[in-house]
Amino acid sequence: MIKKVLVANRGEIAVRVIRSCKEMGIKTVAVYSDADRTSQHVLFADEAYHIGPSPSLESYLNIDKIIQVAKESGADAVHPGYGFLSENTKFSDRCQAEGIKFIGPSAYSIANMGDKITARKTMIAAGVPVVPGTVDMVHSEEEALQIIEQIGLPVMIKASAGGGGKGMRLIKRAEDVTSGLRAARSEAKASFNDDSVYIEKYIESPHHIEFQILADSHGNAIHLFERECSVQRRHQKIIEETPSPILTHEKRMEMGEHAVAAAKAVFYEGAGTIEFIVDNNLNYYFLEMNTRLQVEHPITEMVVGVDLVKEQINIANGLPLTLKQDELKQVGHAIECRVYAEDPDSNFMPAPGKVTHIETPGGLGVRVDGYIYEGFTIPMYYDPLIAKLVVWGSTREESINRTLRALNEFKVTGVKNNVKFLERIALAEDFVKGNYNTHFIEDNFDFLMNYKEHVQEEDDLVMIAAFVEYLDRIGELKPQFQPATSQHSWKKLKRARSYTGARF
């Protein structure tokens, strides 16, 4: 049985994994780069080892170094989190070769799903619906035109080694096939050193709905229902919710069965996600499988009442699943907002830097998975996520209102952030009605960007609060100052105080 886990990751997901280990009585080992010396995941773990300079390639992606630390610390297992080495077959293989358990699927499962053409073939054989298109890789323009004749335009040319939106080309006209094919191939070659591409019918205005699955080493597999992930921008998810507002019970169960079949087809072990693309008539097609724990996994945990990291560890220990499919239920509704250090006014450019003040929301049904404390500098080297705000409510309406309440309590100063932008999403009519697809952000862009007045006022409040705190510190904040201020500015002062937590 696993006694000590090395967490080969950083930030909020490292903290989240460590929390479950602690509850299971498992010791934890953190690894960190230069930029993460004072990161919360380092402080949270039982032991921590420096593994190199800040760039990921020299630290969190350095397989040799991480294996060395695992041996030095006596860790008997490695949890890769998401990103970094989580879907790396070399790492999974290397752990096994070194006698360290990799908390995740086999290299076989990762590779089979990582190659999209192979994944499509496997799914077809398993009876899982895939988007109409080619079975094998497309070699020539003639082959491309032949398949387009069958399925019709528009189509997408996709890189077999791609995924998550990389190496895709939308083709609307037959005369664009040649150039599109060439562009897709060269991009695929440059990005993945593999120029194989395939063709799928283009699904217009789709939903992105994914199913959480768990599979053990005894051949048992279950699904933990879906997550609706259509609120995204440039393939970056922003808000996820479960249940999906568009699925019926019948459709959900049918998709869940196909998700389980997909996992079984690659002899999957661990927690994984089957992504489906869903059209307006609720036709659904397998898109890809993510062979890792995902960023948005907590909404499933909130609604199904399962700790997915504990399940991963139990599966890695060779234990059979104790959860039974027909005993699982979705209770209530959960929403995740990804709070980022980014600037919505500059095309959502990452805005890392020192967080001078942070207050995270609390109260009934609110979970914040983060790692940032006041004074921490969000490194420029990694994803600038500040925290995931995960909210549960007994109904969808309650969880939206609770999300708005919690976002209002969320205060971050020092770095530009998207809290107000998230608030606008939760206020948007189409979101509130559950009437949205993957084009939601572009379709509602004017409404979503219209948060500036509010921001300006909060900037003013922060300045007032800072000034009053300064007066207080130098002993110049006289009691008579307060009644002397006008009713209007006194109100502003009180709001400034609640906004920043200043002591006056």
Please give the positions annotated as active site. Answer: 292
The reply to whether 274 sits near ligand MV4 by the rule CB under 6 A is no
Q: What angle do CA 146, 152, 154 make, to 5 degrees?
A: 115
Strand 353-354 versus strand 377-378 pairing type: antiparallel
Region binding ligand MV4 by CB under 6 A among candidate stretches 203-211, 292-300, 336-344, 440-448: 203-211
User: Which residue in 56, 68, 89, 232 binds ligand MV4 (CB under 6 A)?
Assistant: 232
Strand 27-33 versus strand 47-52 pairing type: parallel
The reply to whether 123 sits near ligand MV4 by the rule CB under 6 A is no
Expressed in angstroms, the distance from the first to the final Cα of the chain is 54
The reply to whether 203 sits near ligand MV4 by the rule CB under 6 A is yes
The reply to whether 131 sits near ligand MV4 by the rule CB under 6 A is yes
Residues 28-47 that bind ligand MV4 (CB under 6 A): none
Region binding ligand MV4 by CB under 6 A among candidate stretches 34-42, 174-182, 196-204, 455-463: 196-204
The reply to whether 296 sits near ligand MV4 by the rule CB under 6 A is no
Nearer to ligand MV4, 276 or 382 (CB): 276
The reply to whether 438 sits near ligand MV4 by the rule CB under 6 A is yes
**Which residues have CB under 8 Å from 6's CB, separation 6+?**
28, 29, 31, 66, 69, 70, 73, 75, 77, 78, 79, 100
Per-position DSSP letters for 66-88, written without gaps between them: HHHHHHHHT-SEEE--SSTTTT-
User: Which residue in 210, 240, 269, 288 binds ligand MV4 (CB under 6 A)?
Assistant: 288
132-167 as b/e: b if 16+ CB within 10 A? ebbeeebeeeeebeebbeebeeebbbbbbbbbeeeb
Region binding ligand MV4 by CB under 6 A among candidate stretches 19-27, 94-102, 160-168, 292-300: 160-168
The reply to whether 277 sits near ligand MV4 by the rule CB under 6 A is yes
Nearer to ligand MV4, 30 or 287 (CB): 287
User: Which residue in 164, 318, 320, 362 binds ligand MV4 (CB under 6 A)?
Assistant: 164
Nearer to ligand MV4, 95 or 209 (CB): 209
The dihedrals phi and psi of 402, each to the nearest 5 degrees, come to -70, -35
Question: Quick one: tokens of 240?
Answer: 């996820």
CB of 138 to ligand MV4, least distance (A): 14
The reply to whether 156 sits near ligand MV4 by the rule CB under 6 A is yes
Nearer to ligand MV4, 29 or 295 (CB): 295
Give the contact letters, 344-383, x = binds to ligand MV4 (CB under 6 A), - = no: ----------------------------------------
The total of other beta-carbon atoms located within 10 Å of residue 67's CB is 20
Q: Which residues pair with 350 in a beta bridge?
A: 342
Question: Quick one: tokens of 73?
Answer: 């610390």
C-alpha closest to that of 129 among 275, 306, 335, 299: 275
Tokens 């000590």 — which residue? 4
Nearer to ligand MV4, 235 or 494 (CB): 235
Determine the Cα–Cα distance for residues 390 and 414; give it in Å rounded to an integer. 23
User: Which residue in 10, 208, 227, 297 binds ligand MV4 (CB under 6 A)?
Assistant: 208
Instruction: Using alpha carbons, list the distances in angstroms from residue 168 to 143, 156, 177, 235, 346.
Output: 18, 7, 13, 12, 25
The reply to whether 89 sits near ligand MV4 by the rule CB under 6 A is no
Region binding ligand MV4 by CB under 6 A among candidate stretches 103-111, 202-210, 339-347, 355-363: 202-210
Beta strands across the sheet bearing 47-52? 47-52, 27-33, 4-7, 77-79, 101-102
CB of 479 to ligand MV4, least distance (A): 57
User: Which residue in 202, 348, 376, 447 binds ligand MV4 (CB under 6 A)?
Assistant: 202
Region binding ligand MV4 by CB under 6 A among candidate stretches 8-16, 118-126, 201-209, 261-269: 201-209
CB of 203 to ligand MV4, least distance (A): 4
User: Which residue in 104, 167, 180, 206 binds ligand MV4 (CB under 6 A)?
Assistant: 206
CB of 114 to ligand MV4, least distance (A): 13
User: Which residue in 165, 219, 318, 363 binds ligand MV4 (CB under 6 A)?
Assistant: 165
Q: Is 12 exposed, middle or buried (0-12, 13-18, 19+ CB in 10 A)?
A: buried
Strand 333-340 versus strand 284-290 pairing type: unpaired
Question: Quick one: tokens of 463?
Answer: 């300045």
User: Which residue in 36, 76, 187, 200 binds ligand MV4 (CB under 6 A)?
Assistant: 200
Q: Which residue is nearest to ligand MV4 (CB)?
A: 208
E strand segments, 34-150: 47-52, 77-79, 101-102
The reply to whether 287 sits near ligand MV4 by the rule CB under 6 A is yes
Tokens 């300079």 — which residue? 53
The reply to whether 437 sits near ligand MV4 by the rule CB under 6 A is no
Size of the site for ligand MV4 (CB under 6 A): 17
CB of 154 to ligand MV4, least distance (A): 9
Q: Which residues pair with 284 in a beta bridge?
A: 278
The reply to whether 172 sits near ligand MV4 by the rule CB under 6 A is no
Question: Quick one: tokens of 366?
Answer: 């609110």
Residue ranges binding ligand MV4 (CB under 6 A): 131, 156, 163-165, 200-203, 206, 208, 232, 235, 277, 287-288, 438
